[in-house]
Amino acid sequence: MTRLVLTRHGQSQWNLENRFTGWVDVDLTQKGEAEARRGGELLRQAGFEPDLAYTSVLKRAIRTLWLTLEGLDRVWIPVTKDWRLNERHYGGLTGLNKAETAEKHGDEQVRIWRRSFDIAPPPLAETDAYHPRHDARYTSVEPARLPATESLETTLARVEPYFAAEIAPHLAAGKDILISAHGNSLRALLMVLFKVGPDDIMGFEIPTGNPLMIELNGLNPTHAAYLDADRANALPACP
């Protein structure tokens, strides 16, 4: 049996402030750090010993991974950071307060931007300070690949091939893997693993800092559960 654990980063400062974050490099709050440490403790109790770990290039996910691995005493395992595991880019909504944005544009419009599969928020101008072209961590990425906004559909379009090429072969070879990422990049992985369709995926809200342990037969999930049962949300059925 192979095990894959998906962990959404602990609470970030902009989660706390109810702001659209996306690719902005916001740090964890003290609560977020505690959630990450708790995740490591739960994984240790479950006897999880990952062989490899993956994360995005955003510090809230990276630090969540660090704290989780410290709890597992596995800080020595190979860790890969890749921008394709980043959160969805929120374009022109980046940095805005969600409640204030709903007051300005209406609840329904904000719901469409947040919860539709294929509708992205307005794009950022290339001159905007939040555009990833101005961020040193993306200098090796072809500029045309850097988004000015994303929907879940376009997030899936970068997450799925990365998973297939870089992560799935290790799982197929029997390696246990830990992925620390973000709400929407993890939704994309749920779509791939559990064969969830576009009409259903936004119904699954992923809690911060709560490890989701998935047991696999090859690449097919046979069982899945959040380890902190008190903060567990609904999960798709195993296909």
Is 100 one of the catalytic residues? no
Strands lying side by side in the sheet with 52-55: 79-81, 52-55, 177-181, 2-8, 212-217, 220-226
The one catalytic residue in 9, 89, 131, 182 is 9
Can you tell me the distance from the alpha carbon of 152 to that of 146, in angstroms, rounded to the nearest whole number? Answer: 15
Helix (H) or strand (E) holding 62, with range, is helix 59-72
Report which residue type is found at 47: G
Identify the active-site residue in 33, 35, 87, 150. Answer: 87
- What spatial distance separates the first Cα and last Cα of the chain, rounded to whole Å? 17
Burial of 43 (0-12, 13-18, 19+ CB in 10 A): buried
Active site residue 41: no
Count of C-beta atoms within a 10 Å radius of residue 83: 19
Active site residues: 9, 87
